[in-house]
Amino acid sequence: MPNNIHFDISERKVLLRILDVASVLTLLYLVGVIFDFEYFIINSEHWVWSIVLSVYLTVFATIFELYNLQKASKFEVVVKNVIITSSITVLFYLLTPFYTPSLPTNRLQIVYFFLAINVALLLWRYAYISFVSAPRFYKRTLLVAHGEHVDTIVGSLQKSDPNYKVVGYFDTSSNDSIVISDQEIVKLNLDDFALMAEDTTISEIVVCTPLSEGITLELNNKLIKLLERGVSIREYIQVYEELTHRIPVQHVERDFYRYFPFSRNNQNKLYLFFNRILDLVLGGLGLASGLLLLPIVLIGNLLGNRGSLLYTQIRVGRNGEHFKIYKLRSMVKNAEENGAQFAQERDVRVTKFGRFLRKTRFDEIPQFLNVLKGDMSVIGPRPERPEFVESLAEKLPFYEVRHVVKPGITGWAQVNAKYGSSEEDSLEKLQYDLYYIKHRSLFLDVVVIIKTLSTIVFFRGQ
């Protein structure tokens, strides 16, 4: 039975969160004991102080991408994000009345407090990169797949989890001329595959071929014997969804409705009630922030756009109904005189001030009016134009499933995928949108909001 140690993607994220908090509180406790540190004391009388600090630290570490596993394995990126996270955490902690300690008479203690948080996080994250992210903790996997699909499968899995390593595969196709670009992935015959699968360093086998396409009786019997010996065998679609938080809709066309149980929350009256309350609260706050920014936007529009401030477009909403969306204008006049087209990266039709509006997502602020009217929600698939919907629905399987929920200002696709400027980008966004619809919940909504803040902070809008 395999006995190697590895951490799944969810386990590493939990580990990072727990030990971030534990390392900070431990070092602050030691500083308090050794140096008579008065500002932050950990005891039964002041337990709330630790709770508040832990919440702030976890939230801002999420916003500043300390739990992004690709970036968590690069120390130079971690150093920058740790300093930003600790700075904002300490600032909010100092400005929180009643639930945090009063400012000390010796202001240097605030500096010590800030330094202790940085030192604790950097030491622990260095240890994580050196040990937990080391090759000995990689999740080593074998594939059962058509040879022509191996490169694509490996790319999608290892891109999502840098510690996920495919080391070999059994080809279920009859084409022996296929060459895999990654020389570290070994093509195995059936006997060698079964023998290697029993190696204690192999974490699991991922079956990427449908039963009707290459799973012979001999192969099936080998897999059953491996399963009986304790080898983990999983289906590719399940693994893909777990690692990427996307639905591989192009691989489940025939079994879509069996595989895709819609979230019960889509019909849950209590969830929908709280979702609407959240929309009204965030919609009001969004419009209020828009009013505060209005002088800057007016001046920028006057100098940089030289035209109308607002523009409207027809978009497709829930159940395929059309509605009028409001946005701050970010393109030149007559930007679509040649017809509707996707916005491209560095689109020449976008003005300089318009590019600022898009990077900061300020151009979306008027859409809070749509939220208050009920046309949209704060969180959901982005509403698309009827022309694009008609075209994409013909090319992408189950594209119109996006319309079973209200469209949103932000969404799971917006915080995970790049800006959709092609059919391939639209497929990727569809995968994320379907994942949101399948797993829709208040917890996932909160995650989207936090990741949206991260998108705004790092100017990733387009």
Residue 95: alpha-carbon gap to chain centroid: 30
**Token pair belonging to 321:** 């109904």
Largest CA distance in the chain: 77
Helix 269-300 / helix 352-360 crossing angle, nearest 10 deg: 150
Q: Specify the pLDDT at position 1.
A: 41
φ, ψ (nearest 5 deg) of residue 188: -120, 145
Question: Is domain 138-244 in CATH 1.10.30.50, yes or no?
Answer: no
Give the C-alpha separation, 384 to 154, whole Å. Answer: 31
pLDDT, tens digit only, all 462 positions of the chain = 444 555 666 778 888 999 999 999 999 989 888 877 778 888 888 888 899 999 999 999 998 889 888 788 888 899 999 999 999 999 999 888 778 888 777 778 888 899 999 999 999 999 998 887 766 678 888 999 888 888 888 888 877 777 788 888 898 887 766 667 766 788 888 888 888 888 777 888 999 886 656 788 888 888 898 888 888 898 888 888 888 888 888 777 666 666 677 667 677 888 999 999 999 999 999 999 999 999 988 998 888 777 788 889 999 999 999 999 999 988 777 666 565 566 656 666 788 888 888 888 888 999 999 999 999 999 999 999 998 898 888 888 888 889 999 999 999 998 888 766 677 788 889 999 999 998 898 889 999 998 888 877 776 655
Under 8 Å between Cβ of 73 and 129: yes
Q: Burial letters for 274-307: b for 16+ Cβ neighbours within 10 Å, e otherwise?
A: ebeebbeebbeebbeebeeeeeebeebbeebbee
Under 8 Å between Cβ of 345 and 263: no
Q: Specify the pLDDT at position 445.
A: 93
Q: Specify the pLDDT at position 162.
A: 76
DSSP state letter for 331: B
Q: Please choose, from the candidates 40, 58, 36, the residue with its C-alpha nearest in 3D space to the C-alpha of residue 49.
A: 40
Under 8 Å between Cβ of 380 and 405: yes
Give the C-alpha separation, 180 to 201, whole Å. Answer: 22
**Long-range Cβ pairs for the range 353-359 (8 Å, 24+):** 353/300, 353/301, 353/303, 353/304, 353/305, 354/304, 354/305, 354/329, 354/330, 355/330, 356/300, 356/304, 357/297, 357/300, 357/328, 357/330, 358/330, 358/461, 358/462, 359/459, 359/460, 359/461, 359/462
Total residues belonging to the chain: 462
Paired strand residues for 350: 331
- What ranges do the domains of the chain cover? 9-132, 138-244, 264-457
**Token pair belonging to 422:** 């092609």
